[in-house]
Structure 1
Amino acid sequence: MLLSLIISSQLLFAQPDTQAVKQINVPMLHPRVREWAYPVNNVKVPSNSVCLLWPGITGKNAFYKIMMATDAQFTKNVINGDEQRWAVYPLHQNIKEGKWFWKYASKATQNDKWQWSATNSFVVEKSKSNISSPSSKQVLVDLKNQKHPRLWSLNKNRESFFTNNKSNPEALAFVASMRKLLGKPLPEEKPTRPRDTTGMNDLQKKQMIEFMYHGFGNKVANPIKDLTVAYYLTKDRSFLDEAIKQGIHVANMDPKGYASRDDFNNGNIVEGLATLYDLGYDFLSEKDKQLLKSAIKTRGEMIYKNLPNRFELQMCDNHVWQHILRNFSITALAVANDIPEANEWLTYVYEVWNARFPVLASTDGGWHEGNGYFRVHYKTLIYLPLLFGEISGRDYFEEEWMHNLAYYILYSYPPKSASVSQGDMHENLSDMVRNQALFADALSTKIDNPYLVWYAKESRKLYPNFFRANDDFLLFRLLNYKGEKQELASKKPDDLPKSRNFNDVGLVAMHSSLNDISRNVNVFFTSNPYGVAGHAHAAQNALTINYKGKKIYGGTGFYSNFSDAHNLLDYRSSRGHCTILADSLSQRLGEDGYGWISRFMTGNRIQYALGDASNAYGNLTTAFWLDRFTQIGLKADKKSGYGDAGVKQFRRHVLQLDSNYVVVYDELEAVKPIQWTTQMHSPYLMKEGAANIGNAKVFELEADFVKSNATVFSSSNSTISVHDKYNYPAKNWKGKTDDEGNIIQFSEQWHAGISSSNKNKQRFLMILQVQDKALKPLKNLGINKGVQKIQVGEWTISANLDTKEAASLSILSSDQKAAFSYGNNALNVAGKAVKINNASSSVLIENGIKQEVIDTLPAVVSQDIGN
């Protein structure tokens, strides 16, 4: 079937639809702390088991309650919530279809009068999800008659746990390792990783002391937990006696001392003590029980006092969601009813889990901070669904997000490959890391997905040493071990689409070969609706390109500290990412520096995404980040690379063609003439190359496994700079180590920037080649009315670089079986006009099959619309 591209004709189009190109005109989509109620404005909710959320009020002892009904006068089908100290309310029941009204009341102290909010409304549709969980009241009633041990259902499954693992090689190896702990000296309260603080300022010393004790809680609590598990595997009292000896010793430690007062250490210790109390209950003396309960209560209250009316309101308190919530939930379940305060602890964590999980995504399976810090959440994401599922009867692994998580793992972090280089610690993911493989393996037993099973099998085959030691997921594997069992269905991902859009978190992952990394060209494109919150970076409309599993272009720099100078001025800044600088200024840090994926199509030969980062730029105003600058004696001003350049538009089209070419087309506009710089970064040597087409600029990459260059066309005169220097040096002043304990070398990396002359409107076209053989020369097919036409390999590419004319991009394969068109172009197939519904749409045709898309807003815009 012949396919030809006709550039000049406009007759085949419908008139441009202004709704095809959408804009978002709100300061942020996901505020750091909840600022409006949900659900409101007659939104159609995704489930008929609704969770109500609302902004909190100031006050350590604030109180709330809710009221719901099917009429605005609150007389029909009325639901009244009990008084509570937190600002979330999962209904724990399936409500009838139709319109519902609700409001909430608050008061700062018990003696104040209730202040009611305005009435909100939402709509429950037919055929929506009806998965619900029992109320926390019911959970506590059920626990009253439940004997210890409660954790991991060992009260009813202790014999099957013992029997199933009797011949389990992994269990036997674990028990052997536990025997080596018997009779060991009791742990001392001292730094786990001593460092010299000479010459450090007060802030650095404070951070270093915390760093030196990091992991102390794990060091003293893990043996206690492991020894109790060893007892249940063997019924050998020597393990439990050793656990009790160590647990009593740790219970006597000062909860305010350096060793255990920080949230990580305290959380791990209280979990260890609670596990001993629960699993060792029948063997503890009354004196030991009282000591453990006293220590658990003291440490538990230290955690809990900082949670209600704060934690549930925040977009994501990372430390709590990563670790403390898991520690505290296990603790609360273990001692509920035995410690009266623990009933409220358990109620709180159970309610927040049901209302907010998954906290940094919605349904698409992604995680907005990137995979460097996503992996810190893995242990919680395995054990808390298991824990809460056991006490509620609800299968949290059946959530839509959990099922899509299988695809996020596969597309964003393939086996034997680097991941996407966005977010803190991305540089540590240059290959598969241990907890990634272990997490996928554990999840594959709970999620019915043959591609995830394949992923887990590949990980075991490629990295057998990852599965030969006591690790974070060993207990999970032991709990789920059933002896010889039927092999789980496994399937290679070669029949999956080559690309996938994780729209909720703004990640498009494109691959030429998901199941064969040795020939895979992988393009990641990020534009994040959450903005730069937590561990995310100012990397809206940014690229990562991996080849044969290795990163060749992407984020640069090192995670030395959450907010030192290198972090704020390079690594976290847009300066460190393959995106656009506006007048040499970064995108904002903060939730208001957001982007979004507005279009996506995937074919066999052409993959396409369009990102909009028009809202990402401006003055840095977020108090959280301004305070970080102040702490280290910097200002978030133009000298530091931050400020308002007046950006009005940044739309970036990204296409992967076959396996070898990446095309990037940028539409840029500001309120005044400014300099625009498009950047690419690499860990490999880059240098300026010779250009032979107009004012194009070329840079080349040199590495022994890949040949790559990029030709960048500009709508204005441009200059190129290639160098290997950061704006602020990267120094490993804390002696940070990788996953294997090796000190990380903070090396220089390479940076290429192509800068325009000062223009209020600007366009860039970048044609990038990636392969392991000789690169194809670009052939200039001329420029006509601002449209630059280029041939490279099997492709002809035409882009309008005249900013006075409408933007357009068209691509055609030499066999005329694959084509792409955006903007003011027309398509003709076999002499017949192809109907294109909108002149502002993007169209992809392969083998006569047409896809056409216009802008799609992020789901949060239509769901959480209180702003």
Structure 2
Amino acid sequence: MNSTRRGDIIVRALWSIPLSAVLLCGLAWAEALTLNQSPAQPSEWGYRPAEGVVSPTDPPSFSWRPADGLTWEIECARAQDPHESVYRASGIEFSVHCPPQVFGPGQYTWRYRGRDRAGRYTNWSQSRSFTIAPDAAKMPLPRRAELLARIPTTHPRLFLRPENLPRLRALAQGEMKAEYEALVRQCDRILADPPPTAEPPKYPPEMERKSEEWRVMWWGNRTYTIKALDSAATLAFTRLLGGQEKYGHEAKRILLECAKWDPKGSTGYRYNDEAGMPYNYYFARTYSFVNDLLSEDEKQICRDLMKIRGDEMYNHLHPRHLWRPYASHSNRAWHFLGEVGIAFLGEVEGAEDWVWFATNVFFNVYPVWSDDDGGWHEGTSYWASYLNRFTWWADVMREAMGIDVYRKPFFSNVGYYAMYLMPPGKVGGGFGDLTARRTAAQNRQLMTVLATQAQNPHWQWYVEQVGGPDSAGGYIGFVRGLLPAVQPEAPDDLPTSRLFAGTGQAYLNTDLTDAAESVQVVFKSSPFGTQSHGYEANNSFLLWAYGQRLLIRSGYRDIYGSDHHQNWMWSTRSTNCITVNGRGQRKHTATAQGQITAFETTPTIDVVVGNAGDAYEPEAGVELFKRAMLFVKPDLIVVYDRLRTSEPSTFEYWLHAINEFDVGGANHIHVKNGDVGCAISMHCRSPLAFEQTNEYDPNPRPRITLREWHLTARTTQKAKDMEFITVYRPYRTAEGYMGTSGFQAIPGGYLFTASSATGQLTALLPTDDTTTMESGDLRTTGAIQLKLDRPGHEPQILTVAERVSGGRGQMQ
């Protein structure tokens, strides 16, 4: 049939359709739904699995951009046959989904579309390919009805099931009698001095938010709430084990007194979440533990108020947390909501939704501040605080739903974070809020749980080194029962340094077994940026040596978001980093991203390279900021900085220490802390002007008396390109240090040499990426190359090949 005849037939067919039908068809076409597939922003969870990702879980967890008023359909196919679906699900409520079945190893594609209430579909999304590894952890999420059916219909439901009570009672009189008797003594102390139960006050109208008076009341209401309701939970649980009836009756009294508090008052979740969160989960535990002593009317009182409190949490978290999960407090609130939902399942309207939402968060959007490599963006203090609380939810999920959360790949690596950042004996927990005085021993309780659950002998060794196993005590420790033994094994077979690519941090150590014998460099250039509690500037670093803090990040959080916290600690000026024309990186934002582009570790040399040029305020005009750290273990650290700006600029190199710097001639600096010191030599083609002070800008509140020292080396000549070569030599003061260093400009960059007790270092340091540099047996184009000559050894040559780091790798 020719094209003219075919066109005539089509026209005649169209004319035969009634006009009304044509108009309706046109209207439907005009209202067709178009899927918003715009790229994810740094503050968003992103499309997962992203194109080309290898999923460490089977099935993977899927995530896509949400849209109001739509339910979702997802389709997966094998990559070699994309037209044949291997998995399809529709009517999905959230914009995340974990299938209830495993797929098996192989290559797959996935796509999704939406459906509105009128039954209209959007277009299908673009297809994305992913691979499931042969060793992927099998973690399907049961369907909603099946999941909820696993939860007991009677009480207790949190931490233990009704059918497990006889076993726990037997343990209380047998192998765990000592732990049970400790609970009895705790209950007797509570009875002798019951906690107050009057409702705590709200803030007076004239009180200034974040003032000192506000801080005392804000935190005080939290501790007051915990004392009352955790006491009640302890009493109620101990009575379940066979304790005296008076424990249960006192628990009931405290519960019902606290039930009189205004659910949206001083302990309301939205009014003060630091009081609201513990109220909700401790109340739920007590309710479940003491349930058989409550009358129907008393149960209804509890249900009515927890309906209000649960809805308040749910409405705040749902659905926002599934796509924008980078809110610190929300990352514990979701599993506390899950506890409340389980306690009141089948008794409070909406509890099923709370449980299902919390379970979806775990399977699809957790952990937030990390990656499968086990790092943690917010620092060791928040790592321990948040993961310790998460282990409660892990216990609850195991008992109530039969789900082993520790099968997630994250938990096979998370213990290395503490091991590498805080070797035994270490004081100082790296970057992040509230870490400066943290000790390795404070990691003991969490590491006990992680080592046991992962059956990791290295982590168990760490536990033994920092004080031995700690089961947490109280009813939490009791329900964990007799943890299976793990044989400790020293980390002698591990490299002493490690990169945590997901959080953009590298920990370079000379010794993992004893901080007093180790030199450590901590380096950050993070795809998480400077957001939340991990706010320090990218390409900044910290230096410890032989148990002492030498170069630090400075300041003291007097209260979160205070003038000092925001304008000093969140500023690039507070870190060992570089500002340009007095301007630093964007403060406290996910958009100020860095990237670790190279990492190498050997027994003698470690190298890490970061790129943070895009993290700076636009006004700074920074086009490039690469920082390379070359660590010749244990006594020579070379930091090579390359900067380029859009206009001639001045550059300020910042260093911070506990004690005053001794600034000598020829750019030589010394800093000491106790019996440890560091000699610093700064090489720069521009003359440098030095200033130092022990004042902050601005200072913390008067109750904080801490003062640290801040040194600034400022270039006195403006330039669009600038390089710094800075040599750090940590040493014990009783032993001193040795070595010289120098550089000369050659085509394409610098020839740098330095001697130390370890040997002679020669390095080619490029200033551009295209010129070939040569010196002796070294030759490189655009990449750092170094050679270490040691007596009695073959020369070691290392070329530092930069690459794009893995980062979070999911925000497509």
Same fold judged by TM-score > 0.5? yes
Q: Between 273-282 and 290-299, report the one with greater CA deviation.
A: 273-282
Partner of 1:37: 47
Partner of 1:367: 376
The alpha-carbon deviation at position 199 of structure 1 amounts to: 9.2
1:644-672 Cα distance to aligned partner (Å, 9 max, x none)? 21111111111222222221111111122
The alpha-carbon deviation at position 584 of structure 1 amounts to: 1.5
Q: Is the CA contact (8 Å cut-off) linking 1:554 and 1:577 kept in structure 2?
A: yes
Q: 1:512 aligns with which of 503, 507, 510?
A: 510
The 1:216/1:310 distance shift into structure 2, 3 A limit, reads farther
Q: 2:62 aligns with which of 52, 75, 79?
A: 52
1:194-222 Cα distance to aligned partner (Å, 9 max, x none)? 99999957977766653442333322221
Residue identity matched to 2:711: A
Aligned residue for 1:133, secondary structure, equals coil
Q: Is the CA contact (8 Å cut-off) linking 2:598 and 2:805 kept in structure 1?
A: no
Aligned residue for 2:139, secondary structure, equals coil
Q: 1:758 aligns with which of 708, 711, 718?
A: 718
The alpha-carbon deviation at position 540 of structure 1 amounts to: 0.7
Q: Is the CA contact (8 Å cut-off) linking 2:452 and 2:485 kept in structure 1?
A: no
Q: Does 1:675 align with 2:634?
A: no
Aligned residue for 2:727, secondary structure, equals strand
Distance 1:445 1:687 in 2: 48
Residue identity matched to 2:478: L
The alpha-carbon deviation at position 513 of structure 1 amounts to: 1.6
Partner of 2:542: 544
Distance 1:257 1:600 in 2: 51
Residue identity matched to 2:557: Y
Distance 1:567 1:165 in 2: 48
Q: 1:222 aligns with which of 230, 234, 239?
A: 230
The alpha-carbon deviation at position 280 of structure 1 amounts to: 2.1
Distance 1:842 1:161 in 2: 62
Distance 1:682 1:602 in 2: 27
Q: Is the CA contact (8 Å cut-off) linking 1:596 and 1:612 kept in structure 2?
A: yes
Residue identity matched to 1:268: P
The alpha-carbon deviation at position 573 of structure 1 amounts to: 1.1
Aligned residue for 1:768, secondary structure, equals strand
Partner of 2:590: 591
Partner of 1:796: 760
Distance 1:202 1:515 in 2: 42
Q: Does 1:654 align with 2:629?
A: yes
Q: Between 304-313 and 781-790, report the one with greater CA deviation.
A: 781-790
1:362-392 Cα distance to aligned partner (Å, 9 max, x none)? 2111111222322220223312223223344
The 1:528/1:158 distance shift into structure 2, 3 A limit, reads same
Query: Could you say which structure has the greater relative contact order, defined with CA pairs below 8 angstroms and 6 or more residues apart?
Result: 1
1:382-405 Cα distance to aligned partner (Å, 9 max, x none)? 122232233443422132211111
Q: Is the CA contact (8 Å cut-off) linking 1:685 and 1:750 kept in structure 2?
A: yes
Distance 2:800 2:58 in 1: 31
Distance 2:803 2:428 in 1: 26
Q: Does 1:523 align with 2:521?
A: yes
Q: Is the CA contact (8 Å cut-off) linking 2:441 and 2:466 kept in structure 1?
A: no
Residue identity matched to 2:719: K
Q: 2:664 aligns with which of 683, 689, 700?
A: 689
The 1:179/1:101 distance shift into structure 2, 3 A limit, reads same
Partner of 1:738: none
The 1:224/1:858 distance shift into structure 2, 3 A limit, reads farther
The 1:28/1:761 distance shift into structure 2, 3 A limit, reads farther
1:488-533 Cα distance to aligned partner (Å, 9 max, x none)? 2112223321101111111111112221222211111111111012
The 1:201/1:302 distance shift into structure 2, 3 A limit, reads closer
1:685-739 Cα distance to aligned partner (Å, 9 max, x none)? 2221233xxxxx1221133321222111113222222221212111156xxxxxx
Distance 2:769 2:533 in 1: 40
The 1:478/1:825 distance shift into structure 2, 3 A limit, reads farther
Partner of 1:450: 457
Q: Does 1:293 align with 2:303?
A: yes
Residue identity matched to 1:265: A
Distance 1:802 1:606 in 2: 19
Residue identity matched to 2:228: V
The alpha-carbon deviation at position 75 of structure 1 amounts to: 6.9
1:449-480 Cα distance to aligned partner (Å, 9 max, x none)? 1111111112226xx9xx6xxx9664443223
**Correspondence 1:321-360 to 2 at 5 A:** 321-322=331-332, 324-360=333-369
Partner of 1:253: 261
Q: 2:578 aligns with which of 580, 586, 597?
A: 580
Aligned residue for 1:560, secondary structure, equals coil
Distance 2:39 2:590 in 1: 6
Q: 1:174 aligns with which of 183, 196, 201?
A: 183
Q: 1:496 aligns with which of 488, 494, 501?
A: 494
The 1:511/1:126 distance shift into structure 2, 3 A limit, reads closer
1:527-560 Cα distance to aligned partner (Å, 9 max, x none)? 1111012112132111111123332211000112
Q: 1:769 aligns with which of 725, 729, 739?
A: 729
Aligned residue for 2:159, secondary structure, equals helix
Residue identity matched to 1:840: A
1:337-382 Cα distance to aligned partner (Å, 9 max, x none)? 2223101110111011100111111211111122232222022331
The alpha-carbon deviation at position 561 of structure 1 amounts to: 2.5
Q: 1:840 aligns with which of 783, 792, 795?
A: 783
Q: 1:319 aligns with which of 289, 313, 329?
A: 329
Q: Is the CA contact (8 Å cut-off) linking 1:663 and 1:767 kept in structure 2?
A: yes
Q: Is the CA contact (8 Å cut-off) linking 1:438 and 1:473 kept in structure 2?
A: no
Q: Does 1:855 align with 2:802?
A: yes
Distance 2:199 2:170 in 1: 40
Q: Between 305-314 and 383-392, report the one with greater CA deviation.
A: 383-392
Unaligned runs of 5+ in 1: 1-26, 620-643, 692-696, 734-744, 808-822, 829-833
Partner of 1:864: 810
Distance 2:363 2:326 in 1: 15
The 1:175/1:116 distance shift into structure 2, 3 A limit, reads farther
Distance 2:382 2:450 in 1: 18
1:814-859 Cα distance to aligned partner (Å, 9 max, x none)? xxxxxxxxx835675xxxxx9x897636567795577655223232
Q: 1:282 aligns with which of 281, 286, 292?
A: 292
Q: Is the CA contact (8 Å cut-off) linking 1:420 and 1:524 kept in structure 2?
A: no
Partner of 1:702: 672
The alpha-carbon deviation at position 777 of structure 1 amounts to: 4.9
1:18-57 Cα distance to aligned partner (Å, 9 max, x none)? xxxxxxxxx99862134x5333546554444121212233
The alpha-carbon deviation at position 81 of structure 1 amounts to: 2.7
The 1:191/1:716 distance shift into structure 2, 3 A limit, reads farther
Residue identity matched to 2:707: E
Q: Between 167-176 and 39-48, report the one with greater CA deviation.
A: 39-48
1:258-293 Cα distance to aligned partner (Å, 9 max, x none)? 244422322212222221222222332222221221
Q: Between 89-98 and 341-350, report the one with greater CA deviation.
A: 89-98
The 1:545/1:29 distance shift into structure 2, 3 A limit, reads farther
Unaligned runs of 5+ in 2: 1-37
The alpha-carbon deviation at position 787 of structure 1 amounts to: 3.1
Q: Is the CA contact (8 Å cut-off) linking 2:152 and 2:161 kept in structure 1?
A: no
Distance 1:197 1:660 in 2: 58
1:230-283 Cα distance to aligned partner (Å, 9 max, x none)? 123334222111111111111121112224442232221222222122222233
Distance 2:728 2:264 in 1: 56
Distance 2:357 2:566 in 1: 35
Q: Is the CA contact (8 Å cut-off) linking 1:133 and 1:394 kept in structure 2?
A: no
Q: Is the CA contact (8 Å cut-off) linking 1:762 and 1:803 kept in structure 2?
A: no
Q: Is the CA contact (8 Å cut-off) linking 1:362 and 1:401 kept in structure 2?
A: yes
Partner of 2:740: 779
Aligned residue for 2:615, secondary structure, equals coil
Partner of 1:389: 398
Aligned residue for 1:537, secondary structure, equals coil
Residue identity matched to 1:477: G
Distance 1:728 1:532 in 2: 19
Q: Does 1:418 align with 2:427?
A: yes
Cα RMSD after superposing both structures: 3.3
